[in-house]
Chain A
Amino acid sequence: QKEVEQDPGPLSVPEGAIVSLNCTYSNSAFQYFMWYRQYSRKGPELLMYTYSSGNKEDGRFTAQVDKSSKYISLFIRDSQPSDSATYLCAMSRSGGSNYKLTFGKGTLLTVNP
């Protein structure tokens, strides 16, 4: 079983839809969880960061972590064509910059006007 599993999509939705992106993981030591957005031919940019279980909201974006189920989600409300990108989940075991991140393979999202 891979450490982090992410459905690659592609996912295509109409503008204004609510989008749900998900990752599952197997390593219970993961405590820090991130979502990155990557536009075509660009480097990933950090979108959301959460620690342990719970929710975090930032504008139209909500990140959820359920450590008991080893499941993380990113919700996008009122999706826009500018949200079209690949979304990568990432996680690490502990704080401190010595720990490598483990990434999902990314989900390609297209929001159609």
Chain B
Amino acid sequence: DVKVTQSSRYLVKRTGEKVFLECVQDMDHENMFWYRQDPGLGLRLIYFSYDVKMKEKGDIPEGYSVSREKKERFSLILESASTNQTSMYLCAIQGNTEAFFGQGTRLTVV
């Protein structure tokens, strides 16, 4: 079974904090993705990575950065958290066509 593990299910952070969301996969896939999911807006792609040390901006990269130092790990960084970044964050890997998701991190910024 494909396994995509996100480090936290729930997080509460303060405005201005630097926040790290970690994602680890056990399938040796090259491609990893970070999405956020909000009611009425659906899934929106933040960043993705095709290989170690490579990254590409998605549709809403502002306020975020990513790091991929090892193939199995893809980190999403909120440089200075703001309340409008309160959301469900989902990491995914993509196989030949379909994507497999982690369980999600519900981040609240207060």
Contact = CB atoms under 8 A, between A and B. Distances in A.
A105 B40 contact: yes
Contacts of A46: 98-100
B97 A92 contact: yes
A68 interface: no
Interface in B88-110: 90, 94-104, 106
Nearest to A93: B97
14 contacts: A34-B97, A41-B104, A43-B102, A43-B103, A43-B104, A44-B43, A51-B97, A88-B42, A90-B99, A92-B97, A96-B97, A97-B30, A97-B94, A101-B94
Given A43-B102, A44-B101, A46-B98, 20 more contacts: A32-B97, A34-B98, A43-B90, A46-B99, A46-B100, A49-B97, A88-B42, A88-B43, A95-B96, A96-B96, A96-B97, A97-B30, A97-B31, A99-B97, A100-B58, A101-B94, A101-B98, A105-B40, A105-B41, A105-B42
